[in-house]
Structure 1
């Protein structure tokens, strides 16, 4: 069934707004090498609706505009989210839906954080940073996101 344009835009805007609010509420743990960005629970939404792709991307753009890492995070973080959201939408298997944000963010955000912290007292090997980013993503995407998907499954016909 094809979604009408106003429903698509409304869902995308709501997802973006909720993402930004969750990042701000949990700001102390939303940034850094070991980040547990609670807002990433929403990265499972492209499994249910394509409106989550632009919604998540815009939410990340806004969050990173007001975040600590500046232009690089705005570009890299948003691109990572766009790619991960698209892959999540296309993946087709519920069990695998949380996987793209884990892998894509570990690579993109891991590389970005490595570059940002290069030469600082917090400098770590690239693989360690990627591992920490992946761990934070696993905690949120599978630990919280997968149960969230089970709840959404019950109501998906009424929501999406």
Structure 2
């Protein structure tokens, strides 16, 4: 089982970015107003935290980093560096997908035994975000569809980026 020490600081930041961007990619696929944003952000946080209870030590290490002040600061700074300022939704989605490709490559090279579990967990975060809020309804989220076509397409892109079996 891999641990944080098996990765360079830059690789570790990329893994942290992947945990955040796996959910943001779906949010960016179909921006959904403030209520949808709150629901999706909460779902991403909950899915991230679920990793703490799982059997995979690498996932637990990633989550534990988010639980420290230094880990959150490092993750925030890495995201700022990766995304830049004033990123629109389409750029955010594209950069998120590219980051997930990088995460998959890092995992396959440095932690092949952990790669399937971590990649499935990242996809799980994306799926929870997609399921969190109805899309295309009125301002309170009534009506619409549970997972929009744009979100379904993004989930497919995420699965491809992570090299998950279809």
After TM superposition, is the score higher than 0.5?
no
Greater RCO, CA 8 A, separation 6+ = 2
Q: TM-score, normalised by structure 2?
A: 0.34
Q: TM-score, normalised by structure 1?
A: 0.35
More helix by share: 1
